[in-house]
Structure 1
């Protein structure tokens, strides 16, 4: 992950978590350079991303401040942040993946239906366990059309797939439809998530879309019950 992306992810997460509150001034760029051990240009690029997202505002001669966001703006940014992936949501932490399966297969019927593919289409079939600072968090079964995500390699699977898609392919992930359910862990999940037989897991079934409206991912993520939470903002018209 490029350094300016890492910095923007970290500051964004701190704003959404309330570490930096509305109208609060962020540290000066020179101080952020020291904090993140980055050049002035790198910090500027990170802040420019947050300005473009509507999270912060630069006031000439005064500094950079967190915007006083409306409920609609908070909802938009919070939802968008959920689709940045595990690596982006955990800056400063070591995120690793153990690849259990990685191959190209003819898309199963359920995947054809979920991703609106033509019969006979081929997809990546990915199964991996993900760890944060050495602790197991989630197992992911993922299908992606090979013509939408060209050149995906095992090294990308071991790191951040979303990082590869956005940083290297230059594609923009826009949204996802997600359904959450709960069940008991199976034997494989007990092993890789370090659970006890009979422990519950949270299951997130997701279809993700590019900003073009094209579906590029169908995944089923199984999370440890004690490491999973869902943040929602409910509004009334």
Structure 2
């Protein structure tokens, strides 16, 4: 199937961004300059730019033009509670979720300790591999109390757990306690992720609470180290 002109322009610009010819935080040439360079109409250029924006390669700035985004790393807020789906929405078709495990089980002793419960109860064990730019670079392992989060399905887990919890179940997710460590990859990490030559993995452990301070989720998010930048805003207090 022959590609349309705007798709060919999109592909060429993606190539320039991914190989560094067009650098992060630089402005793209103007629509007129691109139209002249590619011997195309401005409407064709606008379609290519729209696709670049939808797939997370550029950000359109009012009155300035289009700024190239850093596609080598993904910003993960440390203090915020942001779901992968909310981050993935900015990347369009570059991001994909594969649910590799979903089962209801009785808490293990370790899970009982994480949830600080005197008696074991049932939890969902959800495993999801996150793929970005056709590389499997995150393994999310979620444990959720089935008493608070009933009715999970693979379809829900592929889309967004938090959207289901907030919009369907009507619960309010309030805050999380997080711990970030650097560890050796497990055999499971090596099996499920494209680790390449990396012999370490960044692990973000989160205890997540509802607005009544009830812990409902424990998560281990395991990241290949080259693709992520963990960001925060800090203010000095006296």
Q: TM-score, normalised by structure 1?
A: 0.61
Give CA-to-partner distance per residue, 1:197-236, whole Å, 9 cap, x none. Answer: 5522101111011112111111111001012221122222
Give yes or no for contact 2:137–2:195 (8 Å, CA) kept in 1. Answer: no
Matched with 2:86 is 88
Contact residue 128 and residue 139 of structure 2 kept, 8 A: yes
Matched residues in 1 for 2:121 and 2:186: separation? 30
Listed as ranges, the gaps of 5+ residues in structure 2 are 1-24, 26-49, 51-76
After superposition, the CA RMSD in angstroms is: 2.3
- Do the aligned partners of 2:137 and 2:194 also contact (CA within 8 Å) in 1? no
What TM-score comes out, normalization by structure 2 length? 0.61
Aligned to 1:148: 148
Q: CA deviation at 1:109?
A: 1.8
Matched, 1:179 2:189: no
Q: Contact 2:78–2:230 at 8 Å: present in 1 too? A: no
Where is the helix percentage greater, Structure 1 or Structure 2?
1
Q: Deviations over 1:164-211 (max 9, x none)?
A: 111211222111111001122233323432113552210111101111
For residues 120 and 182 of structure 1, the distance between their equivalents in structure 2, rounded to whole angstroms, comes to 29
- Larger-Rg structure: 2
Label 1:143 to 1:183 Cα distance change in 2 as closer, same or farther (>3 A).
same
Alignment CA distance shift 1:192-1:128 (3 Å): same
Residue 89 of structure 1: SS of its match in structure 2? helix
Query: 3-state DSSP class of the match of 1:143?
Result: strand
Encode CA deviations 1:28-82: one digit per residue, 9 max, x unaligned. xxxxxxx9xxxxxxxxxxxxxxxxxxxxxxxxxxxxxxxxxxxxxxxxxx666x3
Q: CA deviation at 1:84?
A: 2.5
